[in-house]
Amino acid sequence: MKGAGKKRKARIVSFRIDEDGFTLLETLARQTSCSRGEILRRCLAGVQLKSTIDAQALTEVSRVHANLNRIGGLLKLAIREGVSDPRSYHRLNLELIDSVMDVRKAVNRLAGQR
């Protein structure tokens, strides 16, 4: 049965909050991918809030790391085998620059910068 064991949410609560409190509530909601109401319910229940942004950023860093490994392998192969087409070098270089920029963005997100 759907929702078995859960209490029905029958009460609506409305209250005023200052701008700092609202900003904090919005930030927590964004970081945890929960609604403001869910944040308040979890706080009342004493449940620890877990950030989903960190997990998303780490997943992105892992993806970019894999791309860097792939590009590095291609560059090593190109140097070892000798590629006569300068466009291939140029394309690999552009891919490497794009990946480095992706890593910087992901690291900045992990550090809390935008």
Q: Which residues lie below 8 Å from residue 96, measured CB to CB, with a gap of 6+?
A: 68, 71, 72, 75
Question: CB burial class (10 A; 0-12, 13-18, 19+) of residue 99?
Answer: buried
pLDDT tens-digit series, residues 25-73: 999 898 888 899 999 989 888 988 877 766 777 787 788 778 778 877 8
Position 19 pLDDT exceeds 50: yes
Neighbours of 39 (CB within 10 A): 20
Question: CB burial class (10 A; 0-12, 13-18, 19+) of residue 66?
Answer: exposed
| Spans of all domains in the chain | 13-51, 53-110
> How far is it, in rounded angstroms, from Cα 17 to Cα 109?
28
Kindly state the percentage of the chain with pLDDT values over 70.
88
Among the listed residues 31, 34, 38, the one whose alpha carbon sits nearest the alpha carbon of residue 55 = 31
Task: Say whether 106 sits in a helix, a strand or coil.
Answer: helix
